[in-house]
């Protein structure tokens, strides 16, 4: 799977990337957002723990992917309304 992800990320055009994901996700995702999520997945599969992203880095990248997706869809909601936004985390 790691080799397929790497190949899809370096491929010219989105066709190979989209062939690796669920068709419902493929239809509703921008290429940039899809690439960001695939890059996160690939980094998480690194053999060396030091090369894997931190949880904070994963969350930041997913927030970025969600923001790109919102912009691509033309959503009027702001990034603060994203479910991954730190402003939405309940404080004690």
- Span 30-79, pLDDT tens digits: 888 998 999 999 999 999 999 999 999 999 999 999 998 888 878 644 44
Domain count, the chain: 1
Q: Residue 75: what pLDDT?
A: 61
What's CA 16's distance to the chain center, in Å? Answer: 16
Q: Residue 90: what pLDDT?
A: 43
Residue 24's domain spans which residues?
Answer: 2-88
Encoded tokens for 79: 């990034």
Helix ranges, 11-89 (H): 15-19, 23-27, 31-44, 55-73
Query: For the residues 10-28, what does the mean pLDDT come to?
Result: 85
Q: What is the pTM of this model?
A: 0.70
Residues 6+ apart with CB under 8 A from 40: 53, 58, 61, 62, 65
What's CA 32's distance to the chain center, in Å? Answer: 8
CA distance 18 to 3: 15
Sign, CA dihedral 90-53-30-20, equals negative
């Amino acid at each position: 799977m790691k080799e397929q992800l790497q190949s899809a990320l370096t491929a010219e055009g989105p066709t190979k990337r989209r062939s690796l994901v669920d068709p419902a996700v493929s239809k509703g995702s921008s290429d940039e957002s899809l690439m960001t999520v695939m890059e996160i997945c690939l980094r998480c599969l690194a053999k060396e723990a030091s090369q894997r992203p931190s949880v904070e880095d994963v969350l930041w990248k997913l927030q970025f992917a969600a923001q790109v997706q919102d912009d691509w869809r033309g959503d009027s909601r702001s990034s603060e309304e994203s479910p991954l936004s730190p402003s939405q985390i309940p404080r004690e």
